[in-house]
């Protein structure tokens, strides 16, 4: 039986207390507990983007992002670890042929971190591709069963063959124990993955395909196979939407903690009074609440726009182009950074130093949100502004930088 979207969101909300209670240990462990993993399995969170053909749920991007935000309100790092292993089923179900999908989804156990950096070398061998190299920042890798990534391709005689996108089973890679030294997001399971020469079948690699610029306007194997426009869209803005949902949830968690401090503590200067009734603290709380709420609305609206564009692309009435994806990604990125800026400007400067000590919940949330603000996607905010403006105004923007195209 397929649970309705509201039931999935409610299930995520019901885990908030457990996520919050386990957050310090999740950070020390560098990924969430086996108990939370089982809770995610029981709630079918890993199935949300898996096609119904293989027992999945095929939920909308908006529903997925709502679940992301609710989990992040409990623990942003744990939600990040889950999100970036569950979300990539969408790209695999969109891009890869039926025979590959039958194998990777048919076992009913698909979880895959992904990176856009072509850190792996794939050498053509008889019957497939040999993979070698190490790729960092593979969020969600501790519970992964596959990996989705990009590679530099080499022919049997050593000649360069360009790049490509591949999916690889857990049997051909090793998850390294090298995560946990960052300022924040230590619980995201963003370990490196190493390939030592394992071979994947030839159909598991798509030569010439780039994850963040897959030409969905030309038709997709996923839509042809599943008949759902969910598998007729582009990837870049979906990644950025998940990051936006994580930031929104983390920011609301910081607001929750700020509210708790308002109930418990007094103002720092005379006349000392409860923060709960102080006009300044009320204003800071209200300002953050509105700004984070606006970011949430932006994320959900952008997710709905993605679904609309994917539907029009599937119907053949309007192509879903890179420029569309780029603009949607910019909107989601704005929500991501507005969430962080609300916490930084309205809450962190007024909550007090005792809430920013090691071991305090607000301190962990602040570190996680600040680390997320330094992710690769937010780094290209200004460059994206320039490109979008130049396109809108009809002037030459110059080539899109690789970092911007892969945001």
Q: What is the CATH number of the domain that holds 172?
A: 2.40.110.10
User: Can you give the pTM of this predicted structure?
Assistant: 0.95
What is the 3 state secondary structure string of the chain?
A: CCCCHHHHHHHHHHCHHHHHHHHHHHHHHCCCCHHHHHHHHHHCHHHCCCCHHHCCCCCCHHHHHHHHHHHHHHCHHHHHHHHHHHCCHHHHHHHCCHHHHHHHHHCCCCCCCECCCCCEEEEEECCEEEEEEEEEEECCHHHCCEEEEEEEEECCCCCEEEEEEEEEEHHHCEECCCCCCCCCCCCCCCEEEEEEEEEEEHHHEEECCCHHHCCHHHCCHHHHHHCCHHHCCCCHHHHHHHHHHHHHHHHHHHHHHHHHHHHHCECCCCCCCEHHHCHHHHHHHHHHHHHHHHHHHHHHHHHHHHHHHHHHHHHCCCCCCHHHHHHHHHHHHHHHHHHHHHHHHHHHCCCCHHHHCCCCHHHHHHHHHHHHHCCHHHHCHHHHHHHHHHHHHCCCCCCCCHHHHCC
Asked if residue 359 and residue 337 are part of one domain, the reply reads yes
In this prediction, residue 406 carries a pLDDT of 40
Domain residue limits at 67: 5-106
Same domain, 190 and 338: no
Out of 53, 74, 106, a domain closes at 106
Which residues, listed in sequence order, are joined to residue 130 by a DSSP beta bridge?
123, 199
List pLDDT tens digits, range 140-185: 999 999 999 999 999 998 999 999 999 999 999 999 999 999 999 9
**End position of a domain, from candidates 106, 140, 164:** 106
280 and 374, same domain (yes or no): yes
Residues shown for the chain: 407
How many independent structural domains does the chain possess?
Answer: 3
Ranges under pLDDT 70 in the chain: 396-407
In angstroms, rounded to a whole number, what is the distance separating the alpha carbons of residues 334 and 305? 15
Same domain, 240 and 186: no
261 within 8 A of 353, measured Cβ to Cβ: no
Residues 240 and 325 in one domain: yes
Q: Is residue 47 part of a domain?
A: yes
User: How many other CB atoms are there within 10 angstroms of residue 177's CB atom?
Assistant: 10
In a domain, 203, yes or no: yes
Same domain, 198 and 328: no
> pLDDT at position 397, please?
58
Q: Are residues 15 and 95 in the same domain?
A: yes
What does the pLDDT read at residue 405? Answer: 43
Which pLDDT value is given to residue 398?
56
Q: What is the pLDDT, as a whole number, of residue 2?
A: 80
Q: How many CB atoms lie within 10 A of CB 194?
A: 16
- Say if residue 351 is in the same domain as residue 256: yes
């Amino acid at each position: 039986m397929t649970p309705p979207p509201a039931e999935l969101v409610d299930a995520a909300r019901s885990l908030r207390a457990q996520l919050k209670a386990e957050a310090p240990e999740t950070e020390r462990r560098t990924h969430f507990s086996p108990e939370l993993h089982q809770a995610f399995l029981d709630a079918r969170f890993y199935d949300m983007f898996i096609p119904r053909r293989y027992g999945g749920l095929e939920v909308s991007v908006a529903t997925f992002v709502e679940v992301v935000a609710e989990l992040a309100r409990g623990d942003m790092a744990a939600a990040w670890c889950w999100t970036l292993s569950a979300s990539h089923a969408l790209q695999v179900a969109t891009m890869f042929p039926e025979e590959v999908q039958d194998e990777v989804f048919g076992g009913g156990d698909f979880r895959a971190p992904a990176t856009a950096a072509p850190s792996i070398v794939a050498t053509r061998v008889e019957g497939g591709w040999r993979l070698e190299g190490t790729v960092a920042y593979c969020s969600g890798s501790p519970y992964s069963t596959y990996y989705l990534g990009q590679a530099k391709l080499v022919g049997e005689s050593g000649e360069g063959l360009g790049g490509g996108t591949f999916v690889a089973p857990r049997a051909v890679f090793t998850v390294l124990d090298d995560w946990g030294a960052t300022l924040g997001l230590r619980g995201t399971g963003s370990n490196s993955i190493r390939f030592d020469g394992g071979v994947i079948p030839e159909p598991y690699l798509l030569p010439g395909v780039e994850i963040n610029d897959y030409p969905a306007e030309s038709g997709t194997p996923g839509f042809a196979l599943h008949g759902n426009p969910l598998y007729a869209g582009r990837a870049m803005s979906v990644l950025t939407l998940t990051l936006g949902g994580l930031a929104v949830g983390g920011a609301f968690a910081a607001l929750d903690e700020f509210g708790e401090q308002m109930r418990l503590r007094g103002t720092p200067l005379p006349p000392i009074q409860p923060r709960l009734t102080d006009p300044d603290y009320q204003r800071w709380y209200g300002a953050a609440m509105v700004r984070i709420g606006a970011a949430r609305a932006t994320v959900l609206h952008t997710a709905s726009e993605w679904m609309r564009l994917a539907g029009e692309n599937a119907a053949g009435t309007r192509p879903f182009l890179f420029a569309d994806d780029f603009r949607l990604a910019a909107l989601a990125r704005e929500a991501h950074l507005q969430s962080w800026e609300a916490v930084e400007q309205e809450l962190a400067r007024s909550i007090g130093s005792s809430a920013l000590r090691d071991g305090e919940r607000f301190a962990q949330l602040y570190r996680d949100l600040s680390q997320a603000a330094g992710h690769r996607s937010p780094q290209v905010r200004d460059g994206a502004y320039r490109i979008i403006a130049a396109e809108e105004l009809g002037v030459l923007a110059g080539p899109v930088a690789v970092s911007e195209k892969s945001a």
